[in-house]
Amino acid sequence: MRDAAAPAILRTKRPPDEILAIAALAALLVAAPLAIYPFLLAQALCMALFACAFNLLVGYGGLLSFGHALFFGWASYFAAHMAKGFGWPPELAIAAATLCAGALGLVAGALSIRRQGIYFSMITLALAQLGYFVALQVPFTHGEDGIQGVPRGKLFGLINLGDDFTLYYVVLAIFLFGLFGVYRIVHSPFGAVLKAIRENEPRAISLGYRTERYKLAAFVLSATLAGLAGATKAIVAQSATLTDAHWTMSGEVILMTLVGGMGTITGPVLGAFVIVAMQTYFSAMGQWVTVIQGAIFVLCVLAFRRGVVGEIAARFKISL
């Protein structure tokens, strides 16, 4: 039953709007290399996955992390070092680096989750800054230079990732895995409790839920997926640099999520593509890109609170 009063996202008999949106997005992305340079697309997909991971935490858990670059950047370093320093194949490097990011998420989450609101955000920021300065100091990250010349290698010893088209479709597969992962988490028994905590934490506690454990689990899942994005990015860009661990990266992922639509499944993907496209196609404008980004951010906050996809979803009372 379509009840106008009920927000589409939480209707009991959920129509497969979100699945349709994911399928449409997948079809679009499969065809995209016909029109756009696949290397650029692969990089954009890494950012999109990062935004989806971030959105899992803020959009469904109500936890605004200001330090997600910690997981993205460090997974990037780990994957780059494993692929270059240890000579591991790409799938192993990505998988191991992703797990490392999850472990990092467990530590950072355990330290930050006990605090609420702005205090939580500030602790995540502080931990990310700590991670940034560690990255600047330890030898294997090569400080300002970063890890360069990371070999892409052969996936499972068979598929040569040196070819940009091949690389793109492998990245697309990883991305879709991550995107569907977010969808699954959001629409799981765990997701139901997580959303309840976002809606009203004291009430969830009074129903007997140990909310801090659920928030920690969401934090770890989000950090792991952010790590998957960062690790994949290291293989795509063949480098890991301080930029990926810098606080501006944490800021960028917030921007992407807000522009696309917080708490929508596909919104952050669109947001990431908008921001990456701006950075790429407006790069001739130099520093003005940042100014335009700032203006878009202000516009979004003032006019499209729900983000582009969020506004569309609200307008048509569907869930995207």
Instruction: Indicate whether 305 belongs to the interface with other proteins (CB under 8 A).
Output: no
**DSSP per position, 34-62:** GTS-HHHHHHHHHHHHHHHHHHHHHHHH-
Q: Whole-number minimum distance, CB 22 to other proteins, in Å?
A: 15
Q: Whole-number minimum distance, CB 318 to other proteins, in Å?
A: 15
For residues 48 and 204, which CB has a smaller minimum distance to other proteins in the complex? 204
Instruction: Indicate whether 110 belongs to the interface with other proteins (CB under 8 A).
Output: no
From the number of C-beta atoms within 10 Å of its C-beta (0-12, 13-18, 19+), residue 105 rates as buried
134 Cβ contact list (under 8 Å, min separation 6): none
> From the list 61, 105, 146, 191, which residue makes contact with other proteins (rule: CB under 8 A)?
191
* Per-residue contact flags (x/-) with other proteins for residues 145 to 184, judged by CB under 8 A: ---------------------------------------x
Instruction: Indicate whether 195 belongs to the interface with other proteins (CB under 8 A).
Output: yes
For residues 13 and 149, which CB has a smaller minimum distance to other proteins in the complex? 13
8 A C-beta contact, residue 111 and residue 123? yes
Q: Quote the tokens at residue 31.
A: 């065809």
**DSSP per position, 94-162:** HHHHHHHHHHHHHHHHHHHTTS-HHHHHHHHHHHHHHHHHHHHHSGGGTTTT-B------EETTTEETT
- How many chain residues interact with other proteins (CB under 8 A)? 36
8 A C-beta contact, residue 198 and residue 56? no
Instruction: Indicate whether 185 belongs to the interface with other proteins (CB under 8 A).
Output: yes
Restricting to residues 215-274, name those near other proteins by CB under 8 A. Answer: 217, 221
Q: Quote the tokens at residue 295.
A: 């203006």
Instruction: Indicate whether 315 belongs to the interface with other proteins (CB under 8 A).
Output: no
Q: Whole-number minimum distance, CB 133 to other proteins, in Å?
A: 33
Instruction: Indicate whether 105 belongs to the interface with other proteins (CB under 8 A).
Output: no
For residues 249 and 262, which CB has a smaller minimum distance to other proteins in the complex? 262
Instruction: Indicate whether 199 belongs to the interface with other proteins (CB under 8 A).
Output: yes
Instruction: Indicate whether 214 belongs to the interface with other proteins (CB under 8 A).
Output: yes
CB atoms inside a 10 Å sphere around CB 188: 11
Q: Quote the tokens at residue 101.
A: 């990011």
Q: Whole-number minimum distance, CB 11 to other proteins, in Å?
A: 7
8 A C-beta contact, residue 124 and residue 66? yes
> From the list 116, 148, 160, 188, which residue makes contact with other proteins (rule: CB under 8 A)?
188
8 A C-beta contact, residue 54 and residue 254? yes
- Which residues lie near other proteins (CB under 8 A)? 1, 3, 5-7, 9-12, 184-185, 187-193, 195-196, 199-200, 202-211, 213-214, 217, 221
